[in-house]
Amino acid sequence: MDGDSHTRRTFVTGGLGAVAAGLLAGCGQSSGGGGTPTSSDSTPSTTTDDGADDVETPYSVSIEPVGEVTFESVPETWVANNGSWADMGIALGLEPPKGVWLTNRYHTQYYDEIPGLSVDKSDMVSLFQDGVSKELLYDLDGDVYVMDPNFLMNRFKGWEREDIEEIAENAGPLFGNCIYAQHYSWHDDYRYYTLYEGFEKLAHVFKRTDRYEAFVDIHDDFTANLAPHVPNASDAPAAAVLWGVGDNPEQYYPYIIGSGTGFKHFRDLNVRDALAETDIKDFHGSRAAIDIETLIDVDPEVLLLRGYEGKSKQAFQNTVVSFLEDNPLASQLTAVRNGDVYRAGGLYQGPITNMVLTERLGSDLYGIDEELFDRQRVVDVVNGAF
What is the domain-level CATH number for residue 55?
Answer: 3.40.50.1980
Per-residue pLDDT tens digits for 245-267: 999 999 999 999 999 999 999 99
Q: Which of the four pLDDT bands, split at 50, 70 and 90, describes residue 317?
A: very high
Indicate whether 70 and 129 sit together in one domain.
yes
Instruction: Check pLDDT > 80 for residue 152.
Output: yes
Q: Domain check: are 166 and 74 in the same one? A: yes
> Please, are residues 141 and 123 in contact by the beta-carbon 8 Å criterion?
no
34 and 130 share a domain?
A: yes
H/E segment holding residue 25: strand 24-25
Of 156, 172, 207, the residue at which a domain comes to its end is: 207
* Domain that residue 153 falls in: 15-207
Helices 83-91 + 375-383 axis angle, to 10: 80
Round to whole Å and give the CA distance between 80 and 199: 13
pTM over 0.85: yes
- The share of the chain scoring above pLDDT 70, in percent, equals 86
Query: Would you tell me how many other CB atoms lie within 10 Å of the CB of residue 359?
Result: 20
pLDDT at 63 over 90: yes
Taking the C-alpha atoms of residue 121 and residue 124, their distance in angstroms, rounded to an integer, is 5
Check whether residue 318 and residue 376 sit in a common domain: yes
Query: Would 214 be classed as within a structural domain?
Result: no
d(CA 293, CA 152): 37
Q: Is residue 173 located within the same domain as residue 306?
A: no
Looking at the 3D structure of the chain, how many domains does it have? 2
